[in-house]
Structure 1
Amino acid sequence: MEPSGANKGFFQPAPILPNQFYDDVSFRRCFKLFLPFSVITEVEAEVAALGRDVLSDEVFAWITDAERNKPYLKGSGRDAFGRLQGELVTGEGWRQLQKFGLSRGIVATGYDTPYGAFSRPLQYLRLHLWEASSANVTCPSAMQDGAAALLRKHLASRRLTETERKVFEDAYRRLISRDPSVAWTSGQWMTERSGGSDVSQTETVAVYKPEGAEGQLASKEGKIPLGPWSISGFKWFSSATDSDMTVLLARTSHGGLSTFFAPMRRHDPTAKTMTGHPKSDGTRLNGVWIQRLKNKLGTQSLPTAELVLEDMRGWLIGEEGRGIQEISTILTLTRIHNVITACGYVGRGLGIARAYARRREVGAGRGARMKLTESTLHMRTLANLTAEYHGLMLLSNFCGYLLGISEHEATPPTSALAALTPANHYIDPLLRIVVPLAKAYVCKAAVPLLYSCMESLGGVGYLVNEEQEYLNIARLYRDCCVLPIWEGTTDVLCTDMIRVLKHPQSGTRSLDALDNFIKNAYGLQTDAVKKPPEWDPVSKWSALRWYIDDKTQGDLVGEGREILWDIAELLISLLLYVDASTDGNEAAKEIFRRFVQEKFAKEKRQRDTTAEELKRDLAIVYGVEEAEAVSREISKL
């Protein structure tokens, strides 16, 4: 045997990462479950093309550039003579990824497509494919989406003045544009030093000073005026610092918190270039200065900053003192984006793990070799990961479906969707519960799932594979770790859910909404799937509801995680049941059976022969048809 060397000997063949539109069985099932056939026939080719394009060499080169050339403050925030400057510099890769997402309508799909209630499921399915290739430009997209939803709601109102309508229409037009030269992203500034998700001690102050805004423009184009409110304060955590506008909370003279819209830049004909000549665009920052950029574990390509606000000019959104109610619209959207991000990361991690398993050979004893697809233990591990991911995918996309039917009236096109569609008066209260629940449950589960995907590649998975960026699960894992934290930590969301369920006016309605959904989904009649005798979600929910009714809010908060987890797993079991009922797919039925056994049964599942178990695991991981192809590959060895 000849000795190996740096350039000779064994080299592991690189995995081939397929288009996840076709390769990800869970994605395909959600695509068919939450979209009607008429929409699928129109969009399938375009979504498949997006799945291909996000895996291009060009996109991965932009990711590497965005990670290497991190955002920074020119001159550490001051010019050569010590004047405060705060000019943010982002890398070319970051800017190109931002343009890619805008031009592909990652946000616009939810607004400018003719699919009504199904625009949202389509938007979030497309977003799922993009997330792991976006290098976090989807963070500004999330807030852009939330700002667009908030402004759309107010543009439908007759209470706006002529000037307010002009300003809001201009911003909304930009937020939903697919033209990167026109489109805006948005920030969402809530967090201050006094607390993270607790905004009750907000120290940013807004003062009504219409006289100070006379003749000042946010944009010369269209003569869009600056707002009559002067906003000053300090924001401790602000992602999307390079955004074009922001929605923020500030305290007014009435004492309560109010929501404001403010452009990031204002027109200034006296603005100068670095060398003292007039600037061609004639703009400067709108009373906002970057104190410093945050140094984070992950999401390092994303500029997150501490911001000083001094006479930032903005517009009041809604009524004074109702800031929490107004910004909750944005929180609903950003939390759904977090959930989709979590699933997008895990989906990519599993895609890499599947591709690696088909390539990697390991010892099989007595000098024999086998591929990882032949390893009963490895395939059991991937099957367990895939089954959990499938439940998370269903819950995540259910959030998108609920949002869609809350925005547009729709008739469910299939019996499966009818079983998942609550009565009209229960849609909003169910959405109010399911979104924070999914954000807490899915984002928390995604971190260990993605770690397991990284582990499945062994030492290669732990490497920061910049030279083969498509294998870089380590980067995804690092970025994924923030998802259970921002937009509300797990404990904050659990507390919020308990508060909603025990609210003296609307708590009963929220509980009734859950009751209606659980009974409706369980009532779906199908010959494709048998209901296991140990699975009785209606009875389990009834007992849990009685417990919630019987306890005070203070008593329940300490059990918030247990209660949220119980409700989430009830909902996932119903989603798995309805999904499997659509076609009786053997892998989908097996995932449902295993979930019920793990979460509802008192005894462990009875195992079949090793060969049968491997066949089922392969079907869960690769899909029934692909599993048969993998089995044929194995039989030839």
Structure 2
Amino acid sequence: MDSVITHEVFNQPEPLADYDLFATNRALQDALRFNAPDLQLAPLQALGRELGSAGMQAHARLANVHTPELRTHDRFGRRIDEVEFHPSYHALMQTAVGAGLHGTPWAENEAPTPAASPAALPPGGALAARGGPSPLGRSPHVQRAAGFMLFTELEPSILCPISMTYAVAPALRDNPAIHAEWSPLLQSRAYDPALKVYRDKPGVTMGMGMTEKQGGSDVRANTTQAVRDGSDAWGERYAITGHKWFFSAPMCDAFLVLAQAPAGLSCFFLPRVLPDGTRNAIRIQRLKDKLGNKANASSEVEFHGAAAWLVGEEGRGVPQILEMGTMTRLDCSLGTSGLMRQAVALALNHTRQRSAFGKPLIEQPLMRNVLADLALESEAATALAIRLARSFDRQDDAHERLMARLLTPVAKFWICKRGSHLAQEAMECLGGNGYVEEGGQGVMARIYREMPLNSIWEGAGNIMAIDLLRALRKGDAAAALERELAPARGAHAALDRLVAALPARVEAMATEVEARRLAQDVALAVQAALLVQTAPEAVHAAFAASRLGGDWGHAFGTLGAGVDAGAIIERAMPGA
């Protein structure tokens, strides 16, 4: 008897694979053209092709399916405290390091100089002092930001150690001896996962250990103790005893940690393997079982008299960590923007191939409204994130220093808040296919699980809103914001009204109660002003009318009838 065919598969989309992530990301290209017109695009073009390949997508899937495993002891009972990763994790790390997404932007053409004391720093603080010529050209941070966003579209969680290496690399200048030995390795494009002494490795990565059980964002509540234990070629050595509740990427080669020293909370350099080749006294208690971020190992650790070296001055740990936080907060904005772009790309890819009620979903009026609205949100996030990265490249400019201070909490707050909403709506565009974990469409579920992380990590929404208030109360921050928005004056009446009202609102902000609303409105004003300068009229007019003019509801897909949805969708369409 012939077999009976019960059904055939049709009206199911082909996966979005083997395509160029950069070539059809017009929003990113225009943001780069505006913020760094001298940028060399060839490396980003090559990276976009590589990251969109089916082979790299397979690595991303496997690294999330086969998650890290903790090995506390070897088979003979010896304590080893190692985390075992799938080979695809290492393949992804090699690609990210090879693309220079870690410490490479900090590379300088001249020998490092001893760190200046805080009083001697130029305007803008330590970030300004740590600028300098880079092999990546005049815009190394924008170049790296664009690559970071592209990589996030492929796989975000392995970028945790990449981001931390980027953030902590310049901080090592406050210990010139360690900086001289480690900085070239942190800037190297060679990846070596082996747990061995740094001098035997072609490249290294670094992490951070700040949060404790009782403190969270309040690092001043830390109880981990640092006791002086002599000195050597790396300076003052301490024995660290205590714990860290969130210790991400514990297989990095070294970490900057906070601990209470005699003069107060201080910053320390703590290597996994000591200069003599022995393993430091870091005990990994367990790995966190997280909602998302599955390919990355996040752990709880204890320090049992672990050897560490002072970085900077005793008692100056909080300013040190705030500076590093500025850079990781940039990455939160970049990462969420990249996830937004991928979610929109997946929704567009699905709806242009899937038919319902007699025509492709993408041609259904309500679906077009949703897709256009999602595309607007994604492009606005990209514009703001890349603008923020530009300020890191121009720390010799007073206006850019102020914008870095202002836009970091604004971008971190607003982009990351919008990410989860966008991911949910993009998932709905795929229907049930978006909710399943397996196969190519499982990427959308992975994105959705990842989205809340960047809003929580490195300071949740309230911390960011308060940080904005601090920035606005210093120097000429309000005047700098007005200058930033000036080029868009007259483009949209709603934007003009918002811009005109901001100075008085800043002046009247006596308490924190409305700080979140202010952060939201500053973000929207800057995004609208940027889109006027970088995007076609169909995009910036629709954004201003909806986000600022009130022609919008409380959910995606509520744009006004006059919006040119077709032009917006076409601009956002990913490669075939």
Q: After TM superposition, is the score higher than 0.5?
A: yes
Partner of 1:489: 460
Structure 2 counterparts to residues 8-157 of structure 1, below 5 A: 8=8, 10=10, 12-17=12-17, 18-36=19-37, 38-39=38-39, 43-74=40-71, 77-79=72-74, 84-112=79-107, 113-114=134-135, 116-151=137-172, 153-154=173-174
Range 536-545 or range 557-566, more displaced: 536-545
Task: Name the structure 1 match of 2:315.
Answer: 321
Partner SS for 1:22: coil
Note the C-alpha offset of 1:598.
2.9
Stretches of structure 1 lacking an aligned partner (at least 5 in a row) = 155-163, 215-223, 269-282, 364-368, 410-423, 502-506, 581-587, 606-611, 631-637
Cα deviations by residue, 1:46-105 (Å, 9 ceiling, x for unpaired): 21111110122221222222112211222xx24557654423212211112111111121
How far apart are residue 499 of structure 1 and its match?
3.7
In the alignment, the residues of structure 2 paired with residue 180 and residue 265 of structure 1 have an alpha-carbon distance, to the nearest angstrom, of 17
Are 1:464 and 1:474, in contact at CA under 8 Å, matched by a contact in 2? yes
2:425 is the counterpart of 1:452: yes
| Alpha-carbon distance in 1 for matches of 2:209, 2:35 | 33
Give the superposition deviation at 1:440. Answer: 1.1
Higher alpha-carbon deviation: 384-393 or 514-523: 514-523
TM-score by length of 2: 0.86
TM-score, with length taken from structure 1: 0.78
1:392-471 to 2 correspondences below 5 Å: 392-406=381-395, 409=396, 424-465=397-438, 467-468=439-440
Matched residue SS, 2:496 = coil
SS at match of 1:427: helix
Match of 2:480 among 510, 516, 520: 516
Q: Distance in 1 between matches of 2:241 and 2:105?
A: 33
Q: CA deviation at 1:558?
A: 2.1
Aligned partner of 2:226 among 192, 202, 206: 206
Task: Kindly tell me the number of residue pairs found equivalent between the two proteins.
Answer: 532
- The amino acid across from 1:62 in the alignment is H
Query: Which of 183, 192, 203 is the matching residue for 1:172?
Result: 183
d(CA) in 2 for partners of 1:54, 1:458: 26
1:265-305, Cα deviation, whole Å (9 max, x unpaired): 1255xxxxxxxxxxxxxx44311110111111111211111
Distance 2:371 2:104 in 1: 33
1:386 to 1:321, Cα distance in 2 relative to 1, 3 A = same
Q: Give, in angstroms, the shift of residue 402 of structure 1.
A: 0.8
What letter matches 1:21 in structure 2? F
- Alpha-carbon distance change, 320 to 604 in structure 1, aligned in 2, over 3 angstroms: closer
- Work out the CA distance in 2 between the residues paired with 1:79 and 1:538: 62
The match for 1:633 is none
CA distance in 2, matches of 1:392, 1:451: 16
Which residue is 2:378 aligned to? Answer: 389
Note if contact 2:485-2:526 (Cα within 8 Å) is conserved in structure 1. no
| CA 1:261–1:618: 2 relative to 1, 3 Å | same
Give the secondary structure class of the aligned counterpart of 1:243: coil
Alpha-carbon separation, structure 2, partners of 1:442 and 1:306? 29
Q: How many angstroms apart in 2 are the aligned matches of 1:134 and 1:561?
A: 30
Question: Which is worse superposed, 490-499 or 78-87?
Answer: 78-87
Q: 1:579 — aligned with what?
A: 534
Structure-1 separation of matches of 2:453 and 2:4: 42
Check whether the contact 2:403–2:480 (CA below 8 A) recurs between aligned residues.
no
Deviations 1:485-520 (A, max 9, x none): 11111112222323443xxxxx241xx223233235
Partner of 1:12, secondary structure, is: coil
Counterparts of 1:566-605 in structure 2, within 5 Å, are: 566-580=521-535, 588-601=536-549
The yes-or-no answer on 1:547 pairing with 2:508 is yes
Q: Say which of 551, 558, 570 aligns to 1:622.
A: 570
Contact 1:349 1:453 in 2 (8 A): yes
Is structure 2 residue 341 aligned with structure 1 residue 340?
no
Q: Which residue of 1 aligns with 2:117?
A: none
Distance in 2 between residues matched to 1:533 and 1:235, nearest whole Å: 47
Q: What is the CA deviation profile of residues 298-344 of structure 1, one whole-angstrom value per residue up to 9, with x for unaligned ones? A: 11211111111122222211111111111222111111111111011
2:272 aligns with one of 264, 278, 298: 264
Q: Does 1:189 align with 2:209?
A: yes
Offset of residue 19 of structure 1: 1.7
| SS of alignment partner, residue 87 of structure 1 | strand
Q: Is contact 1:346–1:450 with CA below 8 Å preserved after alignment?
A: yes
Match of 1:421 in 2: none
Deviations 1:549-572 (A, max 9, x none): xx2xxxx22222112112222222
Separation (CA, whole Å) in 1 of partners of 2:288 and 2:204: 23
Aligned-pair CA distance for 1:6: 5.6
Indicate if the aligned counterparts of 2:82 and 2:251 stay in contact, CA closer than 8 A: no
In the TM superposition, residue 174 of structure 1 has moved relative to its aligned partner by 1.1
Q: Is the 8 A contact 1:298 1:478 kept in 2?
A: yes
Is 1:335–1:435's contact at 8 Å kept on the other side of the alignment? yes
Q: Name the CA distance, whole Å, in 1 between partners of 2:517 and 2:239.
A: 45
CA contact (8 A) 2:212 2:244 kept: yes
Deviation of 1:109 after TM superposition, in Å, equals 4.6
The amino acid of 2:461's aligned partner reads: T
Alignment partners' CA distance in 2, 1:603 and 1:132:
31
Identity of aligned residues (%): 26
1:27–1:5 Cα change, 3 Å? farther
- The offset of 1:603, in angstroms, is 6.4
Q: Is the 8 A contact 1:241 1:303 kept in 2?
A: yes
Give the letter for the 1:325 counterpart. P
- Say whether the 8 Å CA contact 2:28–2:383 is kept in structure 1: no
Give the drift of 1:117.
4.4
Give the alignment's Cα RMSD to 1 decimal.
2.8
> Cα deviations across residues 607-626 of structure 1 (Å, max 9, x unaligned)?
xxxxx9699212112229x7
Given that residues 362 and 371 in structure 1 are in contact (C-alpha distance below 8 angstroms), is that contact kept between their aligned partners in structure 2? Answer: yes
- Residue matched to 1:231: 240
> 2:255 aligns to what SS in structure 1?
strand
The one-letter code sitting in structure 1 at the alignment partner of 2:211 is T
1:338/1:508 CA distance change after superposition, 3 Å: closer
**Secondary structure, aligned partner of 1:285:** coil
CA apart distance, 1:140: 0.5
What is the rounded CA distance, in whole Å, between the counterparts of 1:603 and 1:477 in structure 2? Answer: 27
What corresponds to 2:257 in structure 1?
A: 248
Instruction: Indicate yes or no: 2:451 matched with 1:480.
Output: yes
- The alignment partner of 1:482 has SS state of helix
Is contact 1:33–1:579 with CA below 8 Å preserved after alignment? yes
Q: Does the CA contact (< 8 Å) of 1:4 and 1:10 recur in 2? A: no
> Is contact 1:127–1:340 with CA below 8 Å preserved after alignment?
yes
For structure 2, which runs of at least 5 residues remain unmatched after alignment?
108-133, 193-201, 554-559
Where do 1:275-314 residues align within 5 Å? 283-314=277-308
How far does the alpha carbon of each residue in 1:192-228 deviate from its partner, in whole angstroms, 9 at most, with x for none? 01111111111111111116xx6xxxxxxxxx86962
User: For residues 490-505 of structure 1, what are the structure 2 equivalents within 5 Å?
Assistant: 490-501=461-472
